[in-house]
Structure 1
Amino acid sequence: MDAMILAAGYGSRLRPLTDHTPKPLVEVAGVPVIEHVARRLIAAGADRIIVNISHLAEAMEAYARERWNLDAELILSPEPTPPLGTGGGLAHARRHFRGDRPFFLHVGDVVTDLDLAAAMADHRRSQALGTLLVQDRDADRCLLFDERGLYGRDNRREGRERTVREAAGASRRWSFAGIHLLSPEVLDRIEETPPFDIIDLYLRLASEGAAIRALDMTGVRWLEIGTPERLEAARRALESTP
């Protein structure tokens, strides 16, 4: 199974740390965060890990050459500077996918103990085009789902809401957890020109009738290292884990 880790960003909120260290190589409990993510993906069945790189790409290339020793093939997908965005990164890397089975797309700054194999099995049973892992969390930016799946996004901080169709039945705001389970057909349906946000791709697909569903992972440990405070919290949490 293929998996892609999104790791090309600047990590701006972690500066000055990320001025010299790409965020995927920031260590948490003595291990680069990218390894925490990759180990979980490999445990779920991934045998090929695709990683997009841009900011401090040379450091990521050196890591792949000198330090990668996990039980999966590592493929780097270099991008220009500035990087191509979450959707553009997937579009740019699609030549590396085998394209014959569902795959994981995972942000590079989240560590979780969610059973990813069970989540993938749930996605396969659903026959949806995409499954987005979500949480019941009070966040400013949320995705809007109804009985048919994704139909919009809401940014309370900026006072903006975008919907691509009328809600069907009960609707709910969910906070996206940064983990995607995607059927291979998604790769063939990308029309957007990089750079672009992958949620814009999902909203277009939803407007065309595709099923982009939510899978609730509320209550599962979810550690995001996007800020110095969250990085320290993740370090405390993982260093205390036997």
Structure 2
Amino acid sequence: MSGADAMAERAPKAMILAAGRGERMRPLTDHLPKPLISVDGTPMIEYAVRRLVDAGVTNLVVNLGYRGAQIREHLGQGEAFGANIAYSDEGDPPLETGGGVFRALDLLGDAPFLLVNADVYADYDFAPLVRRALDFPQRDLAHLVLVPNPEHRREGDFGLEQGRARNDGAPRLTFSGISILRPELFVNCEDGRFPLAPLLRQAAACDQLGGERFDGSWSDVGTPQRLSELESLLRQRGRRSQE
């Protein structure tokens, strides 16, 4: 076995959430699934795939829902990206965040895995998160990457105190859509539609939720306006880099 193969075998798996309908992105999503909407010429889901592969995570699971066949056709089995992609097809309507992950657990295995929202753009370096997943604290059920609160979510989601995500406390930060989850987080769940947030809040209440702050570029590309703002920012950066 080569060094690269050994690294890929040891690396955690990752799941990319890509099943949502993207109602707030209409009319862009009338005929295209939200993860295939382009940011600066590249479909959003490709950013997630490429950043994970760059960090050594090549075994990926993508859940499919609304117009999922288009995502499967675009990504294939992952060869073009140096990845191996398996699919969890939920149909339409999809199973929400928690239900989607629960349905895919058989594909993800027994070890902690990374979870990434396909509609999040971030210049986040996954390599340290990969190392954390490989040496994940036994007491923790999850670890969240938190970001400063955007204008559309000023109240935030969690407090962060000494590496622990809290339901209360300061500073209040927003969940970025990037995390590590342990399969045991879903031990009392049943197949069906349910959100992930209540499970994370329960873990926080039991001091089983780690957290870190990320201050780099991040955008929850949830509306056409946010997409336009992100593309404008990236164009400005491109011009500055050429000066």
TM range (shorter): 0.7 to 0.9
How many Å separate the matches in 1 of 2:89 and 2:83? 19
Residue 47, structure 1, aligned to residue 58, structure 2? yes
- Determine if the alignment matches structure 1 residue 120 to structure 2 residue 150: no
Cα separation, partners in 2 of 1:74 and 1:141, compared to 1, 3 Å: farther
1:71 to 67, 72, 82: 82
Deviation of 1:83 after TM superposition, in Å, equals: 0.9
Q: CA deviation at 1:28?
A: 1.6
Note the 1:1-242 alignment, pairs <5 A.
1-65=12-76, 69-100=80-111, 102-122=112-132, 127=137, 128-137=140-149, 139-145=153-159, 147=161, 149-152=164-167, 171-186=170-185, 189-207=187-205, 209-218=206-215, 220-239=216-235, 240-241=237-238
Shift of 1:235: 2.4
Corresponding residue for 1:158?
A: none
Give the distance between the partners of 1:179 and 1:112, measured in 2 at CA: 10
Over 3 Å counting, the alpha-carbon distance change for 1:38 and 1:190 in structure 2 is: farther
2: CA distance between counterparts of 1:5 and 1:190? 23
Structure 1 consecutive aligned stretches of length 4 or more whose deviation exceeds 4 Å = 122-126
Alpha-carbon shift at residue 60 of structure 1 (Å): 1.9
Q: Give the letter aligned to residue 145 of structure 1.
A: G
- Relative to structure 1, the CA distance from residue 214 to residue 91 in structure 2 (aligned partners, 3 Å threshold; closer, same or farther) is same
Q: Deviations over 1:79-100 (max 9, x none)?
A: 1321111011100111101323
Higher deviation after alignment, 221-230 or 19-28:
221-230
In the alignment, the residues of structure 2 paired with residue 214 and residue 131 of structure 1 have an alpha-carbon distance, to the nearest angstrom, of: 5
Q: Provide the secondary structure at the position in 1 that maps to 2:60.
A: strand
Task: Return the alpha-carbon distance in structure 1 between the equivalents of residues 79 and 21 of structure 2.
Answer: 22
Q: Say if 1:192 and 1:201, in contact at 8 Å, map to a contact too.
A: no
Q: Give the deviation of 1:53 after TM superposition.
A: 0.9
- TM-score (ref. length: structure 2): 0.81
CA distance in 2: counterparts of 1:66 and 1:206, whole angstroms: 36
Q: What secondary structure sits across from 1:204 in the alignment?
A: helix
* Aligned equivalents of 2:67, 2:91: Cα separation in 1: 11
- The AA in structure 2 aligned to 1:53 is L
CA distance in 1, matches of 2:82, 2:15: 15
Query: CA deviation digits over 1:150-176, x for unaligned, max 9?
Result: 443xxxxxxxxxxxxxx6xx5442111
**1:103 to partner: Cα distance:** 1.6
Higher strand share: 1
Measured in 2, the distance between the counterparts of 1:39 and 1:190 equals: 33
Q: Is the 8 A contact 2:123 2:218 kept in 1?
A: yes
Tell me which residue corresponds to 1:163. Answer: none
Question: Which residue matches 2:5?
Answer: none
Q: Root-mean-square deviation (CA), in Å?
A: 2.5
Conserved 8 A contact 2:76-2:85: no
**Deviation (angstroms), 1:126:** 6.1
Which one-letter code corresponds to 1:89 in the other structure?
G
Percent identity between matched residues is 32
- Write the distance in 1 (CA, Å) between the matches of 2:32 and 2:103: 24
Matched residue SS, 2:29? helix
